[in-house]
Copies of this chain bind each other. A is one copy, B any other.
């Protein structure tokens, strides 16, 4: 027998019920990110549950980054919600060391290559034009400021993920990106970090425009490889300076 055919009854699921009701409310009211939710006291009254229960439910959502609570002000929606969301709490033990950063790059290497290949397969003419536009903006910023620009660089990559047709790429890589940059002010002291990756943005774009999935994949791999090299150089430098 399929054990899923008889799910365990949920006699106690107050928090989840509250969240479910809240999803319904958000959708019914068409609340957008940034807007304010009802106060805890009102929710408790409306849903006929204790305010404490409401708080536990909201604490869950807060931990998931779906809402933000501001004492004295209210609770605000931070992201879109839908009934069939899947929450994936990524936990990276070890934090700010070299290993963790390298791990985010391993994930990104795999996904970046796949996204570039899919993009090359599926891009329409207008898609390609848009990617080239982002590339121009990025190269412009690079020359003007004589260095990689996180902002414009990121937008170029996002354009690729978008054209890949699979929103999961953007979501997951964005998570890796944030994980990476959370420890990235300039802790590793590599001044020209990212410089080496610059030329590969154009080559990726060219392979996509040529509808060459394998070529796009290869160029994406080269790009990530340069970032990995930068990271290793930074780590070596750090190790050296901490051994004095």
Interface residues, chain A, CB within 8 Å of chain B? 2, 4-5, 12, 52, 55-56, 59-60, 62-66, 71, 79-96, 100, 103-104, 106-107, 109-111, 113-114, 118, 166-169, 171-172, 175-176, 178-179, 182, 185
Contacts and interface: CB of A to CB of B under 8 A. Distances in A.
20 contacts: A52-B52, A60-B62, A64-B91, A65-B89, A65-B91, A85-B93, A86-B94, A86-B100, A86-B178, A86-B182, A88-B171, A88-B178, A89-B89, A89-B90, A90-B171, A92-B167, A104-B168, A107-B111, A107-B172, A172-B172
B93 A80 contact: yes
Given A63-B59, A106-B166, A86 B82 contact: no
Contacts of A93: 80-82, 84-86, 167
Contacts of A166: 103, 106-107
B171 A91 contact: yes
A179 B179 CA distance: 23
A95 B110 contact: no
Contacts of A2: 185
A100 to B, nearest CB: 7
Q: How many subunits of this chain does the assembly comprise?
A: 2
A148 B12 CA distance: 35
Contacts of A104: 168
Contacts of A55: 56
A9 to B, nearest CB: 13
Contact of A175 (B71, B90, B95, B178): B90
Contact of A84 (B82, B87, B96, B185): B96
Given A52-B52, A107-B166, A110-B110, A12 B71 contact: yes
A52 B4 CA distance: 34
B91 A90 contact: no
Highest count of chain B CB atoms <10 Å: which of A12, A87, A91, A169:
A91
